[in-house]
Every structure is written in structure tokens, then in C-alpha cells.
Amino acid sequence: MNLRNIAIIAHVDHGKTTLIDVLLKQSGSFRENQRTEERMMDSNDLERERGITILAKVTSLEWGETRINIVDTPGHADFGGEVERILHMVDGVVLLVDAAEGPMPQTKFVLGKALKLGLRPIVAINKIDKPEQRAEEVLDEVFDLFAALDANEEQLDFPVVYGSAKQGWMADDPSGPQDSMAPLFDLVLKHVEAPKAEEGTFRMLATTIESNPFLGRILTGRIVSGTATPNMAVKALSRDGKTVETGRISKVLAFRGLERQPIEKGEAGDIVSLAGLAEATVSDTLCAPEVKEPLSAQPIDPPTLSMTFFVNDGPLAGTEGDKVQSRVIRKRLYDEAEGNVALKVEEAPGGDAFIVSGRGELQLAILIENMRREGFEICVGRPRVVYQTSENGQRLEPIEEVTIDVDEEHSGAVVQKLSERKAELLEMRPSGGGRTRLVFNAPTRGLIGYQSELLSDTRGTAIFNRVFHAYEPYKGEIPSRHTGVLISNGDGEAVAYALWNLEDRGPMLIDPGVKVYRGMIVGEHTRGNDLEVNVLKGKQLTNIRSAGKDEAVKLTTPIRLSLEAALSYIADDELVEVTPKSIRLRKAILDPNDRKKAERAAKSA
């Protein structure tokens, strides 16, 4: 059978997963009356809740006499490590661009990786049904982007289709027939080359990894040469050519629609999953025992942000989760790093803590969210950037390219706030509909915690995107949080009357009846210093009553911080305590006397 391997790449929310839904339906992968969900490829709970793709996934469909393997990739910059690996498995990419927004930072990132590998993209301009669509301008912007990324002449001569994945059509021009995806299918068959099989025995580069309760470790990749059959002897070579392990393939699985089915033989050019190896991981070459040289694998971009994960040592530890021991947390983190090459885990000096480095706040927040759903209790420190040192000993920090679409009246406030955070304005131009597009180069340090501030400055109307740009010399001190916090001075349950009396001191972070302990953060202080308060003190009851004395206490609604907001809110001496039921903020040192000693020691040092 003829075969094509393609990936669909785009910026977050430009319609990749919706497009794959329609391609599967129109190719006859489902019965007419079969019930299907929206965004079928987003199988993970968090993906469905947040409406983003986190893990790259493969599906397969048939169009005429040809089978097409399609890879759905994440669109968020924090999961760029997934996209980089996936592009090695395919022979062509469909670059999806929103007809109103045009090329965005992640479009540039993934397209740059695809062009570097020599892939020839097909450009699909999606969401053409939007009233604010500007397809012709967007096509010019895409061409400029190709030129800016040093595309060769073949790549610059890209075919274009226009359409709406939501409405289920693509056409060669915007006014074409709006009835099916056939033009896109035909273009894939015509423009993307069939995979070429190399000479020699079995070789395959492991691109993704997952664990299965029945089959153990499953490695997915494209077979470069030879064939793979169940019970065949294989070995795994690391990137530097060392033998990682030898073993046998227990099962060869291929993608058919959304299902993975066992097959008797995997042939060169096909994307398959192999089970049976216990230690091989991503970027290893799985091959026949006689092969000596590994396949070349591109190094993954380095992590830019790190967080320290601590064992929960608070008074409420173990009351809401069942996985609290350091050995259990350690195993979970190292298992995650094995399957996700963009993450790096190391043990912190002093024990019972682990430094986890990744691409951004969202990637690390997703890991923490998954852990709390599995029953873990952990404490997490403030995100810190990963510095590097240049050859001449200069300190380098990660810089990100930030694109913000904002209403014109708010652009001044955004430029001012980001300038304070050492960002450099590169471009300011209208983006249609009375909105302005601002492009900055900003230090990653300055962006920690900025998104919530941006949304309040722009009344929730700004669209914020960021992507790693480069390591550049250290930009100097950046001011952190301006306010102090209110800290509980006792253990118990918060009382409404006490919270009501403290409202003059600043907004609260907790509700009445919530369990608190000494050292836990219960509110934000309106001034710059921290203040210890009593949230347990009830109203003194007497036998004398007077009119109006017993009115119900009316409390202002407390600030409810999401996990990402909590991580970016805390200062260096604070932690976020994460359990399956709660997200609490606390001081790293709970005892006030020990805290003062540590502050004095830090000042004298």
C-alpha cells in the first residue's frame, strides 16, 4: 500500500486537533452513525479541560489507495520538545495558520525546525469563516516568515489551501467549493513524498515513549530500514553509540484510526510502536544486533526554567494525599523525565528535594497538576531561570520573544510594565479590529507572574504568546512583588469574624472554615512588609444584646489563585503546598523565630 507520513504544526489554538477530527470523519474511519467526541486526539483529561494539546499523538487513515499517518503536535511553546522529536518521523508538514491572527511565535518556532530538516510544508489558511479574516495579507506574512527563516527555493514554492476545519472544507482559493477536505488530501498525496526505505537490517529511532500497564514500555518511531516482527532480537544504542540494552520485541503495534493494533510485520517507512524493551528511551536507536552506528538524533533545546520540589513537611501533610514520601516523589519525577526529554530532574543538595527544569511555567504546572490528581502531596518553590556562562565568563540568561495583541487604549500600559521588567520593544503595528500587536524581547525572569498582571491591565482582552529566543547577557535586577503577605500565627480553622476584621489589612486568600496553620499565608498585605495575624479569633459573646450587634458578617470574596498564578505569586522564601484537594501558600520556614534568624543570617551574608 502507498504510504505518507505528515505532521500538522501550528500555533496554539489555530485548529490542528479540529482539523484531524474532520480528516478522520471524511476518510471513512468511522461509521456514519458512530458517536464521536470533539477533539478526539486530546485524550488526556487536562488537554480536554484546558483546550490545548500537550502530548504529540499519531493517527492513521486511508484515502483511496494510500494510507496517511498523521501526527498531531502541541501548539504551546512549553511543549516544543515534543514537536522537535516528532518532525524526525515525517516526510512533510501541513502548516496551519489562523486567517485573522496570522503567523504567531510558535508558528515561527515549529516552522523553523521543519525547514531545518529539509521538509517542504503545505500551508493551510484556516478559520476563513471568521468575519475579521484577512487571508491574502496572512499569506504575504507567511511568505515573509519563510524568507526570514532562510527557506530554500523549493520550500518557498509552497502550495496553499484555504478553508475552515470547523465547517469541514478546504479549497484551492477562498471562494472555492466549500464541501470537503478532498483538496487537502489530494495535495498531501501529490506534494509529500512517500517514505524512502534505506538499505540494511532493522533500524528505528525512538521518538516518543509511554508506559502501558499490560505491555510495559512502548517506544514509537519510524522504521528507517528493514522490518520489525514480534519475538525478534534487537538492541538499543544511545546517541553516542553505547549499547543500552538487548532484548526481544514482544509486540509490534501500528496505528489504525484512533486505535493501535498488533501487526505481524512493521515495514520500513511506517510509524509503529514496539513493546518489550525495559530501558531504551527517547533518542535511542532500536536496531538489529549486528548494527554498530546509531541514527543521528537532534539535541533538544535546553530547559530555561527550574523549580524545586520538596516533601510536604507542613502540619497538614498526609491528610489529603496518599503519596507523600520522598522515594515515591523521586520515582515519579524520574519516570516523567525519562519520557519527556525537555524535562531534567536532579537531586537538590541536602536531600528530600528535587530540582526540576523545563521549558516554561505551563509545562511544570501541568506536571504538578498531574501529580496532585494521582494523589501526591508536594511543596514547590518559586520558578527560577536556568543561567548559563559564556566562554569569557559572562553570565547569560534566557530571553523570550513575546507577542501581545491588545486593544489600542491599553498598549501604553503594557509597554510601560514590560519596560520595567527589562523588556525591549521590537515592533508595534496594527493587527486589525482596533488592536495593536506588540513584539518584545524579554528576560524569562521578568515574565514570571506577568500574565495575571497583563490581564488586569487590559481588562482581560490581551492575547499573550511567548517562545524561547536565545541566551543573552544578564539584564540586571528586576523588581519582584511589591506587597507583603498576611501570615497565620496559629493552627485551627479560620473564623469569618476574624477575617472580616482583617479586611483593612489587605485582600484575603482563604474562606472561613478553611484549616490554617502557623506560617501559612492567608492574605496579601497592602504594605511591603509581612504581617502575622490571628484568623482564629471569634467574637466575644456576652449576655448583653444591642440593636444591630448580631448582623451577619459580610466578607469580600477572597482572591482564588490557580496553580500557575500561585507559582508565579510567591516570593523566594515562600512555597506552594499542593495536595489533591487544596493549593495553599506558606512560608518555607514555618516558625517565626527561625524565620527571623534566617533573614538576619541572609542579610549578614
Q: Is 14 annotated as a binding residue?
A: yes
DSSP string, 26-80: HTT-S-TT----SSTT--SHHHHHHT---S-EEEEEEETTEEEEEEE---SGGGH
Q: Is 17 annotated as a binding residue?
A: yes
Q: Is 15 annotated as a binding residue?
A: yes
Q: Is 88 annotated as a binding residue?
A: no
Query: Using CA atoms in the order 229, 230, 233, 238, what is the torsion angle rounded to 10 degrees?
Result: 80
Q: Is 129 annotated as a binding residue?
A: yes
Please list, in sequence order, all residues whose beta carbon lies within 8 angstroms of the beta carbon of residue 605, skipping any fewer than 6 positions away.
none
Identify the CA nearest to 185 among candidates 71, 72, 73, 67.
67
Identify the CA nearest to 90 among candidates 224, 187, 211, 273.
224
Cα–Cα dist 545/554, whole Å: 20
Q: Residue 86: which H helix or E strand, with range?
A: helix 80-86
Cα–Cα dist 156/3, whole Å: 25
Cα–Cα dist 41/74, whole Å: 11
Q: Is 218 annotated as a binding residue?
A: no
Q: Is 127 annotated as a binding residue?
A: yes
Cα–Cα dist 250/314, whole Å: 46
Identify the CA nearest to 496 among candidates 533, 538, 557, 524.
538
For CA atoms 567, 572, 578, 583, the dihedral sign is: negative
Burial (CB < 10 A; 0-12, 13-18, 19+), residue 126, is: buried
| Binding residue positions for GTP | 13-18, 126-129
| Binding residue positions | 13-18, 126-129
